[in-house]
Copies of this chain bind each other. A is one copy, B any other.
Amino acid sequence: MMSRRQPLPSAHDVARLAGVSQAAVSRAFTPGASIANDTRERVLEAAQALGYRPNLIARSLIKGRSGIVGVVIGDPRYPFVMAALNALCTRLSQAGRHVLVHTAEGDGTADVHVEELLRYRADAILLIAAHISPALAARCHREGAPVLSFSRPLRPTRGIASICGDNRKGGAAIAEHLLAQGYRRLAVIAGAADTTTGHDREAGFLEHLAARGLGPCTRATGDFRREGALAAARSILSAPDRPDAIFCANDDMALAAIEVARYDFGLAIGRDLGVAGFDDVEQASWRAFDLTTYALSVDRLIEQTVEILLDEPGTEPPALTIVEGALKVRGSTRRD
């Protein structure tokens, strides 16, 4: 038997079976609608019998909003990205909303993907590690779809809301902790140069150092990624004036730095070399690493994000939401 798409039961079919008008069927499925209990039950019964459920595409067409949140993932290689997407999907599913995902290739702009999402009448656009042109952001705003930028604050543009962690403060907290533990020759493995996240973490760290009268220290860039950090750590640890502690702009780089220090240079982490990260990813707490870090839980960030996403349509989202983290001291920065 040739399998062919079977026409689904429509509200009409249900109406006929229940002996009511098609509008009544619609009302039976609309929460606050004015319909007699009796009628609703008859409709629901008929619907049940036919396996009917209102077509959300048709509903979206009328309402001009789809109940869908469009997500553009700029660069999936950043490790926090998938964790964020996971948390987001979980929370939004609980709220009965769907997530339409587009992944951009390379580091290009998200514009083409955002446009596509707009064509599905996404209620909101969330950018994760992605950039959007101001022009398109303005257009989204005009079309009533708020644009949120996750963990990548954008130049304050009308209609874009940014949610990010307190990177500056975290950098400073790490610096203070390292100094308190007696580390003095501090190095930095920085994140990607073009991200405010990377910039702010480093800036917070350096500012705190400067405030304590400490000069500049060794620096290399790791681009937020493992491979970059492996190279950076090798370079830093090979230098004549070897540092006694390294601050990495995220945990993934810190884990890589630990690996290099331990296996290539035979250093005892904590005692010979302090290593601190940023984010508190899962592996940070594993005993193989036991990494001191500034915990900026993706869950907390997503929680904030979802709150904004679920705001009444038309609500102007706050331009910048900053989520505070907390220093998590572990063995990688203790000398005793």
Chain A residues engaging chain B, CB cutoff 8 angstroms: 3-6, 8, 51, 53-58, 60-61, 64, 66, 68, 73, 76, 81-83, 85-86, 89-90, 93-94, 98-105, 113, 115-121, 139, 141-144, 255, 258-259, 262-263, 283, 286-289, 313-314, 316
Contact = CB atoms under 8 A, between A and B. Distances in A.
Contact of A73 (B89, B98, B314): B89
A143 B86 contact: no
Given A6-B143, A55-B121, A143-B8, A89 B101 contact: yes
A314 B3 CA distance: 7
A94 B105 contact: yes
Contacts of A115: 53
Contacts of A56: 119-121
Most buried by B among A55, A81, A139: A55
A299 to B, nearest CB: 12
Contacts of A119: 53-57
Nearest to A53: B119
A26 to B, nearest CB: 14
A116 to B, nearest CB: 7
Contacts of A6: 142-144
Contacts of A61: 55, 57-58, 61
Nearest to A104: B93
Contacts of A118: 53
Nearest to A144: B5
A103 B89 contact: yes
A6 B288 CA distance: 55
A104 B86 CA distance: 11
Contacts of A313: 5
Contacts of A258: 288
Nearest to A252: B282
Of A51, A82, A117, A259, chain B has the most CB atoms within 10 Å of the CB of A82
A102 B93 CA distance: 6
A31 to B, nearest CB: 16
Nearest to A79: B282
23 contacts: A3-B141, A3-B144, A6-B142, A8-B143, A53-B115, A54-B119, A56-B120, A57-B61, A57-B119, A57-B120, A57-B121, A81-B86, A85-B101, A86-B103, A89-B103, A93-B104, A98-B100, A98-B101, A99-B101, A99-B102, A100-B101, A101-B101, A288-B288
Contacts of A90: 76, 103, 105
Contacts of A99: 100-102
B286 A51 contact: no
Contacts of A86: 76, 81-82, 85, 103
A300 B82 CA distance: 19
Contacts of A104: 93
Q: Which 6 A-B pairs have the closest CB atoms?
A: A5-B144, A89-B103, A82-B82, A56-B119, A93-B103, A90-B103
A224 to B, nearest CB: 15
